[in-house]
């Protein structure tokens, strides 16, 4: 009975989020803003329709991870090698400059503040490690919702995948060094590298097997069935490995992204288009659930109790993302629109930041509980405030770049 009630709560929540998204879109704003607000309103800190009994349940965790994997298809199927290699160095350089630029700016700003406040400096680097992560789902949902296309869009999509890799690598290296500094139970660097790249390796292997199988399928329904079955196999491997870890940290979106990147480059354009025509509505559904899972735990009360650290964090992170992206685009001679507006599409943050914050708190709460409370309070409040601002700014970035409704099937409105 409890399970039936939880499933019903989720279905009602999805309908409410969908309607909220439609209403928000009438105001010429991206649907995701409606999903985010709906998630906070129906989450455990407000109406509690989508409560902790659902969000913390095992079945929802499995469903959400599978849908994250599914959402990864949106990124991976766009990474066609023949197209990506034309802009390869530009995307790689810009990803590194915007990620490391954010890490350096946030770490430097908080390093100065904490030095004067007599707070351990290593906490500044943890802030920097959390700050460089970008949550690709919000910006990519704007791409999907408002049918954007152009240099900024085509740079953002592959960057979304690379940014997750760079962000995870830097964050886990920071955690390894801080953990080694404050406790005897340090995280080995080899284990860090394994956790960062394992989702990609899983996806590459299952994607290659899928590509080989799809070359021998003739009918569209068989092609789709094989792809879906192997997507579930990929997620299943992720679940099996996560169950062996003390903290389940595998990125399922990266598994889905690398899985689909490999098979998308092995099949015909006709096969790929046929699969994605069926999958696009499913990806749209996956986006709503992923965003609800991101928004529901956010406590709107934190908006009113946010302190100076939260404001500094949001501003420093935005400055790092924008200047880092601008510098990378400038040195690689990217189009002017990429230089000026890409940074605005990289501001969404909360999904990944909350995962990273949870890991940071678990490392700090024993040896340095006062540092754990500083980082938890600051990032939790920033997650709420930044996400609402960031979605709006991402939409404006695409608008200023002149890329709204430019994709095939996009309206001119």
Query: So what CATH class is 2-400?
Result: mainly alpha
Q: What angle do CA 138, 147, 12 make, to 5 degrees?
A: 50
Does this model's pTM top 0.75? My answer is no
Give yes or no for a contact between 378 and 310, defined as CB atoms under 8 angstroms apart.
yes
Give yes or no for a contact between 178 and 122, defined as CB atoms under 8 angstroms apart.
yes
**What token pair was written down for 396?**
């404006």
Q: What is the pLDDT of residues 177-216, one digit of tens each?
A: 887 777 644 556 666 667 778 888 999 999 999 999 998 8
| Lowest-pLDDT range of 6-10, 197-201, 324-328 | 197-201
Q: How far from 397 is each of 139, 209, 284, 347, CA to CA, in Å?
A: 10, 39, 22, 10
State phi, psi for 48 to the nearest 5 degrees.
Answer: 60, 30
| pLDDT value of residue 62 | 92
CB contact set of 407 (below 8 Å; sequence gap of 6+): 143, 147, 148, 149, 153
For the chain, domain boundaries: 2-400
Distance CA 260, CA 166 (A): 20
| Lowest-pLDDT range of 24-28, 63-67, 308-312 | 24-28
What's the rounded mean pLDDT across residues 252-272? 88
CB atoms within 10 A of CB 370: 11
Element of type H or E holding 268: none
Highest mean pLDDT among 94-103, 366-375, 398-407: 94-103
**What token pair was written down for 275?**
């699969």
Distance CA 176, CA 184 (A): 11
Residue 11 banded pLDDT, cuts 50, 70, 90: very high
Instruction: Please determine, for residue 32, whether its predicted confidence score (pLDDT) is greater than 90.
Output: no
Distance CA 377, CA 355 (A): 14
What's the rounded mean pLDDT across residues 318-346? 93
Q: What is the pLDDT of residues 59-83, one digit of tens each?
A: 998 999 999 899 888 778 877 776 6
């Amino acid at each position: 009975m409890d399970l039936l009630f939880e499933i019903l709560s989720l279905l009602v929540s999805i309908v409410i989020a969908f309607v909220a998204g439609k209403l928000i879109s009438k105001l010429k704003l991206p649907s995701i803003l409606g999903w985010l607000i709906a998630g906070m309103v129906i989450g455990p800190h407000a109406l509690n329709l989508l409560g902790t009994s659902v969000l913390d349940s095992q079945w929802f965790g499995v469903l959400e991870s599978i849908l994250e994997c599914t959402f990864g298809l949106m990124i991976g199927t766009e990474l066609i090698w023949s197209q990506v290699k034309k802009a390869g160095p530009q995307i790689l350089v810009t990803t590194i400059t915007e990620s490391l630029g954010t890490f350096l700016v946030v770490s430097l700003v908080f390093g100065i503040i904490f030095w004067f406040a007599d707070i351990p400096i290593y906490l500044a680097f943890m802030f920097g490690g959390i700050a460089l992560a970008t949550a690709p789902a919000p910006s990519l949902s704007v791409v999907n919702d408002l049918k954007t296309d152009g240099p900024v869009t085509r740079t953002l999509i592959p960057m979304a995948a690379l940014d997750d890799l760079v962000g995870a690598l830097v964050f886990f290296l920071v955690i390894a060094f801080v953990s080694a500094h404050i406790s005897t139970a340090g995280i080995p660097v080899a284990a860090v590298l394994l956790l960062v790249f394992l989702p990609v390796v899983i996806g590459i292997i299952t994607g290659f097997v899928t590509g080989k199988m799809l070359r021998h399928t003739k009918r569209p329904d068989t092609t789709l069935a094989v792809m879906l079955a192997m997507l579930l196999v990929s997620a299943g491997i992720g679940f099996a490995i996560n169950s062996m870890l003390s903290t389940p940290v595998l990125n399922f979106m990266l598994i889905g992204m690398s899985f689909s990147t490999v098979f998308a480059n092995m099949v015909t354009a006709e096969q790929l288009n046929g699969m994605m025509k069926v999958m696009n509505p499913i990806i749209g559904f996956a986006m709503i659930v992923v965003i609800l899972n991101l928004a529901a735990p956010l406590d709107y009360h934190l908006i009113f109790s946010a302190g100076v650290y939260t404001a500094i964090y949001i501003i420093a992170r935005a400055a790092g993302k924008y200047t880092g992206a601008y510098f990378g685009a400038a040195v690689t001679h990217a189009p002017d629109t990429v230089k000026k507006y890409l940074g605005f599409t990289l501001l969404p943050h909360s999904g990944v930041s909350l995962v990273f914050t949870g890991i940071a708190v678990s490392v700090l709460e024993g040896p340095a509980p006062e540092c754990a409370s500083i980082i938890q309070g600051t990032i939790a409040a920033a997650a709420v405030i930044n996400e609402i601002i960031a979605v709006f700014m991402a939409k404006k970035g695409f608008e200023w770049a002149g890329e709204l409704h430019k994709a095939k099937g996009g309206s001119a409105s």
